[in-house]
Amino acid sequence: MPLPVKIGLFLVLCVALWLFIRWRSPRPEFPPLQTDPDDPLLLAAMERATATLEAFRSHLAGPRESALVKLRFVSSSGQVEHLWAEVVEVLGPGELGVRLVTPPVTHNGTLDRLHRCAFEDIEDWQVRDSAGKIHGGFTQRAMFAIARRDGIALPEQLRAHEAEYADT
């Protein structure tokens, strides 16, 4: 086989391998929005979330499709992450049973997805009611506002998701 054919075949195999690896590696649907944790919009959203925990309690007691809470998580490497968790059950007046939805990025080793969380540990909350409207989700709304403020165009799917929020 002539040398140019061998080189061409090698290049084709390299490109095929690169495409296969790229296709197989998991990626988020949307790249994460880099925000300053001290951004005034984000801080105000977290304050609003904690100020409305009683509304969250009442949404938990009513008919709903789903409920999520955002929790502060310290990984095995000492990094602080903010993870969403699905509310699995109300364990008492001040405690919830939750299942981590967002996997921690900086954690090594195994991690049980089921946890208990106290209401005072909740950084944000979100409830989708039986009509499909989303209540809460204040930090997510702040992220949308930060993106718009910083000139970042939201993808169509995120704009549609943003329209599902109720005025709470």
How big is the chain, counted in residues? 168
Computed from CA positions of residues 29, 35, 38, 41, in that sequence, does the dihedral angle turn out positive or negative? negative
Residue predicted with more confidence, 127 or 76:
127
pLDDT of residue 41: 95
Neighbours of 14 (CB within 10 A): 10
| Matching residue, tokens 């949404």 | 59
- Helix pair angle (53-61, 40-51), 10° resolution: 50
Q: Cα–Cα distance between 36 and 140 in angstroms, integer?
A: 14
pLDDT of residue 21: 54
Q: Say yes or no to pLDDT of 128 above 70.
A: yes
Computed from CA positions of residues 63, 65, 70, 74, in that sequence, does the dihedral angle turn out positive or negative? positive
Supply the DSSP symbol for 18. Answer: H
Q: Say yes or no to pLDDT of 90 above 90.
A: yes
The 10s digit of each residue's pLDDT in 14-52 is: 566 655 555 544 444 555 567 788 899 999 999 999 999
First to last CA, the chain: 71
Burial class (CB within 10 angstroms; exposed 0-12, middle 13-18, buried 19+) of 11: exposed
Chain-centre distance for alpha carbon 33: 11
Q: Provide the percentage of residues in the chain whose pLDDT is more than 70.
A: 82
Residue predicted with more confidence, 147 or 16:
147
The 10s digit of each residue's pLDDT in 106-121 is: 777 788 889 999 999 9
Q: Provide the percentage of residues in the chain whose pLDDT is more than 90.
A: 44
pLDDT of residue 167: 76
Q: Cα–Cα distance between 166 and 41 in angstroms, integer?
A: 19
> Is 54 strand, coil or helix?
helix
Mean pLDDT, rounded, of the chain: 84
